[in-house]
Amino acid sequence: MALWWFLGVLSLAGLYAWLLESLRKGWESLPVWTLSHPFFPTTTVSIVVPVRNEAAGLGRCLSSLLAQDYPADRMEIIVVDDFSEDDTAEVAEGFANRGVQLIRMRDRLSDARQSSKKMALTTGIQAAKGQLLATFDGDSWAPPTWLPTMVGYYEKFRSVLLAGPVLFSENGGLLEQFQALDLCGMTGISAAGIHRNWFHLGNGTNLLYEREAFLETGGFSGTESLASGDDVFAMQKMARAFPGRLAYVKSADALVQTTPAPDWKAFWDQRLRWGGKASAYLEWQLTAVGALTLAVSWAILLSFLFIPRVGAWAFLFGFGLKSMVDYRLLSRTAHFFNRSSLLLVFWQAQLLHVLYIVVVGSAAVFLKRYNWKGRRHK
Please give the pLDDT value at position 378. 55
Provide φ and ψ at 145, rounded to 5°: -85, -10
Please give the pLDDT value at position 117. 82
Please give the pLDDT value at position 252. 96
Distance in angstroms (rounded) separating the CA atoms of residues 264 and 260: 11
Contacts (Cβ under 8 Å, ≥6 apart) of 365:
275, 279
Pairing of strands 246-248, 161-163: parallel
CA angle 151, 253, 164 (to 5 degrees): 60
The answer to whether 227 and 82 are in contact (CB under 8 A) is no
Please give the pLDDT value at position 4. 83
Provide φ and ψ at 369, rounded to 5°: -115, 135
Please give the pLDDT value at position 307. 80
Please give the pLDDT value at position 310. 76
Helix (H, G, I), strand (E, B) or coil at 38: coil
The answer to whether 371 and 197 are in contact (CB under 8 A) is no
Tell me the fold of 40-277: Spore Coat Polysaccharide Biosynthesis Protein SpsA; Chain A (3.90.550)
Q: How far is CA 108 from CA 48, 115, 119, 244, 298, in A?
A: 17, 10, 11, 38, 47
Quick one: which of 45, 60, 62, 69 has its CA closest to 99?
A: 62
Q: What pLDDT, in 10s, does the model give residues 141-156? A: 999 999 999 999 999 9
The answer to pTM > 0.85 is yes
Distance in angstroms (rounded) separating the CA atoms of residues 287 and 280: 9
Distance in angstroms (rounded) separating the CA atoms of residues 285 and 4: 27
Q: What pLDDT, in 10s, does the model give residues 328-357? A: 999 999 999 999 999 999 999 999 999 999
* CA of residue 252 relative to chain centroid, distance: 16
Give start and end residues of each alpha helix (H) in 158-279: 174-195, 211-216, 230-241, 264-276
Contacts (Cβ under 8 Å, ≥6 apart) of 109:
83, 115
Please give the pLDDT value at position 309. 76
Q: Where do the domains of the chain lie?
A: 2-27+283-377, 40-277
Element of type H or E holding 338: none
Quick one: which of 155, 38, 132, 118 has its CA closest to 76?
A: 132
Cis bond leading into 38, ω under 30°? yes
Please give the pLDDT value at position 224. 55
Please give the pLDDT value at position 361. 87
Distance in angstroms (rounded) separating the CA atoms of residues 223 and 32: 33
DSSP state of 260: P
In the predicted model, residues of the chain with pLDDT beneath 70 are 1, 110-115, 170, 222-230, 276-279, 367-378
Please give the pLDDT value at position 275. 76
Give start and end residues of each alpha helix (H) in the chain: 2-29, 55-66, 88-93, 117-127, 146-157, 174-195, 211-216, 230-241, 264-276, 284-305, 307-310, 312-336, 346-366
DSSP state of 285: H
Pairing of strands 370-372, 161-163: unpaired
Provide φ and ψ at 79, rounded to 5°: -100, 130
